[in-house]
Every structure is written in C-alpha cells, then in structure tokens.
Amino acid sequence: MDRRMVLRSTAAALGAAALSGTAAACNRSSDSSDSSDFSDSSAAPRAAAARASATSRALTHPGPGPYGSPRAADRFGVALPAGFTSRILAHCRVQVASTDYVWPDGPCGGGCLPGAGGGWTYVANSGVTFGGGASALRLRPDGSVASAERVLHGITQPRAGGATPWGTWLVCEGLFAGRVYEVYPDGSRAAVGRPALGRFAHQGVACDPDDRVLYLTEDRSDGCLYRFRPDRWGDLSRGSLEVLVGDPGAGPDHVRWARVTDPDGFPRATRRQARDARAFDRAAGCWYANGVCYVTTRGDGRLWALRTVSGGTAVSGGTAIFGGTPPTSIGQLTAARSGDLFVAAGRGEPALTLITSAGEAAPFLRLPGHRGSEITGPAFSPDGTRLYLSSRRGVTGRDRSGITFEITGPFRAAAD
C-alpha cells in the first residue's frame, strides 16, 4: 500500500470572526525518506498563499455553528453562546482556591491529563522570559480544586507544549536554542529535558499514537515542521528527528522527511540541515486527532491540516486564511469529543473559533475587555464536559494580570 502525506489548506474568506477551513493530511509511513504530497510548493509562505488563492477550493463555510453566536459578556467578561457559563479558576499573583499556591504570571500553553480518583489535572505553562515553568492544577471529579503546585521551574519562554498518551506534559521553550522538557504532573518524577527532540524555537507538539511519532512546530518566520520517531514509544530519550522538505525530482507537489543529523542545532540550526526544508510562517499550535494533524501559523493566519491517505493520488490545495488584512494572528488549538476544533485567534479582541467536522466555522467565545491579551492553553477535561483556557495578560495587557477560566455547557459528544 502506497501511503502519502497530503498537506492542504483552502482559501475561503469568512470574515474576521470565522476561520476559513482546511483539509489535508499526514503520512503514516515511518520511513525517513518517504515521499509525500504537498499542496503548496513554496518555501516562502506568503508568496505561496498569493499563488494558491486563485485555484484553491473552499472546504469550510461560515455559519452559526452548533451553539449559535456568543451573547453579551458575563460577569467574568466572557462572551459565550446561550447555555454556556464561565468561572475563574485562577488569577495570576493570587492564591488558587483554598490552596496556598500562587498562580504564576503569563499562563501560556496548557493541557488536561487524567488524574487520580476520577479527577484530572490541568497543566499550564508560565510563559515569562525568566523563571518560566509549568504548574499543575489538580481537580476532583466534580471540578473543584484539590491542589495546585509548580511542576517545572527555571526555564525560558515556555510556549504551547503538548500532552502525551502516557500521561506526561511536554513543555517547549521558545528561544532560539529552546529545549523540550517532559513533566510528570502527578509528581511521581522530576521533570527531565529531552534533547533528542531538538534545540530550536519550539512552540507546539502533538503525539500521533497511530504512527507512534511526534510532530513539532518552530516559532520563526522561516520555521519548519518536524517529526520525531522515538526508538521506543513512550520513551523520548532516544529517537530520530526529521524535518519536512521538498522533493523537486518527484514534482512540485511532493515532499519527504529528511533526517536532522544534529538535533542540538549547533553550529548549524536544525532548519538548515536539510536542503529544501519547507518553511511555515511562525508555526504555533499543533494538535493530532483521528488521523489528522493540525498546525496553525501565526505569521500568515493559516490553519494547516494533514491526514494519512492511501494510494498515490496527489491532492492540490491553497491557503487557509483567518479573515482580515493583515492576517489575524492564530495560535493554540484543541479538539472536542465531537471532532470540533477550537482555534484561538485575535488581532485586538481575543476569540475562540469553532470549526465543525463538516467544515462550518463559527465564533464560540470572545473576551471583549482583553484587547492586549491572547487566549492560551485551550484544553478539554478527559470526559469532554469542561473547557479550560487562559487570557494570558488579562484586561491590563500584562502577564501579571493573566486569568485561567473554566467553561461548562452543552458541549456535544458527537457531531450531528
């Protein structure tokens, strides 16, 4: 069976509040030299977008979504559709609930992991330049806070990160020689650096349990998309790091994975160790679900989707633009049990946009008073009934004013 990676996006203008959709796909082959299809052959993302816009096929459309539009902001400043409510779990520089733990500045990436006794843990990175780290907020089955503590100290500029299927949290440093740290939210072990995942300006990471690989994004205008193949699934101490590159000899729509020979990135940066490495304009969020890996790029406001397909048919595509000129900045993302994507966006007013599996894009949440902030760390509880997220800088536009929220309501368990 010939398996190919197809990377697609579409150019559908949906306006400032809704996201034009994408379809695409990602390789399940574990061969580091496998060929794949790539819908956009340029290494310069903005130039590629201009060329693709004339031929792309819209795969999403604007609409009210399954819940309707957000109503007026509630008493916590959160605008949500009817039936949904918010509550504040933590304020930066304030003790969390009944604990003695003070929530740190700049809540950045975040994720939910199963916890003890039917509860769960929400892990949030503190994205400050100096003294960054990660905190664990442990919740009981009824959603009340059981405890909170710091689980990683003293790193620089932690970004989106990602959860693993074996219950750990990966913290990604965003500086030029950033590292990935594996954190154990239950406190069973101390956090450990994972140099095999490379040293570069990390942002997001997503685990693909089907092919047993990890995808990693790079936060640069000429950043790349990487794939890590651990020697043993569940052990990130050893493995092979690869970068997505073009394959000119096979045609303009083909790509392959090339080995990064020196993951340490010195003296030659990881993105420069393979010819024809594909550039993504400030790749940010990364999420894998049901055979699809989604990647957002902040520099040009795109959402990319990659899906495994069988057979040798190349699929062409264009660009996914989050409406507006200049492009709206989009960042972290998550998915619900229904398959709906929730994508953080905002150039001005932070918002969360919902994209259904049928391709309908609709605004879901707004933070009208948080214009100097951004939505970070969106993640659902393991049972899918609660959505967690933060306003990194709150209403003042400063990291010390960050707020972490919980959203509850009639989240659907399956697409209609």
The closest of 109, 113, 153 to 133, measured between CA atoms, is 153
Q: What integer is the mean pLDDT of 201-216?
A: 96
Q: Are 99 and 140 in contact (CB under 8 A)?
A: no
Task: Report which residue type is found at 250.
Answer: A
Average pLDDT, the chain: 82
Confidence of residue 357 (pLDDT cuts 50, 70, 90): confident
Q: What is the CA radius of gyration of the chain?
A: 20
Q: Are 65 and 354 in contact (CB under 8 A)?
A: yes
pLDDT score for 207: 97
Percent residues over pLDDT 90 in the chain: 65
Homologous superfamily (CATH) for 3-408:
TolB, C-terminal domain (2.120.10.30)
For 168, 231, 259, 263, 352, the CA distances from 240, given in Å and listed in that order, are: 20, 8, 7, 9, 35
pLDDT digits (tens, 9 = 90+) for 23-51: 233 333 334 444 443 333 233 333 333 33
User: Please, is 122 exposed, middle or buried when counting C-beta atoms within 10 Å of its C-beta (0-12, 13-18, 19+)?
Assistant: buried
Distance CA 380, CA 389 (A): 9
Distance CA 362, CA 35 (A): 35
The closest of 291, 387, 370, 299 to 336, measured between CA atoms, is 387
The closest of 182, 265, 191, 175 to 226, measured between CA atoms, is 265
Identify the residue whose tokens are 């965003």: 174
The closest of 354, 405, 407 to 84, measured between CA atoms, is 407
The distance in angstroms from the start CA to the end CA of the chain is 33
pLDDT score for 313: 24
pLDDT score for 119: 97
Q: Domain coordinates of the chain in residue numbers? A: 3-408
Strand ranges (DSSP E) for 56-201?
Answer: 61-62, 85-91, 107-114, 120-126, 132-139, 145-155, 162-163, 169-172, 180-183, 192-193
The closest of 34, 51, 32, 36 to 5, measured between CA atoms, is 36
pLDDT digits (tens, 9 = 90+) for 97-155: 999 999 999 999 999 999 989 999 999 999 998 889 999 999 999 999 999 999 999 99
pLDDT digits (tens, 9 = 90+) for 63-104: 899 999 999 999 999 999 999 999 999 999 999 999 999 999
pLDDT digits (tens, 9 = 90+) for 186-206: 989 999 999 999 999 999 999
Structure tokens at 125: 């990175």
Angle at 129 between CA 149 and CA 195, to 5 degrees: 80
User: Please, is 88 exposed, middle or buried when counting C-beta atoms within 10 Å of its C-beta (0-12, 13-18, 19+)?
Assistant: middle
pLDDT score for 9: 54
Distance CA 56, CA 73 (A): 37
Q: Are strands 225-232 and 35-38 parallel, antiparallel or unpaired?
A: unpaired
Confidence of residue 290 (pLDDT cuts 50, 70, 90): confident
DSSP conformational letter for 50 = H
pLDDT score for 130: 87
Q: Are 376 and 389 in contact (CB under 8 A)?
A: yes
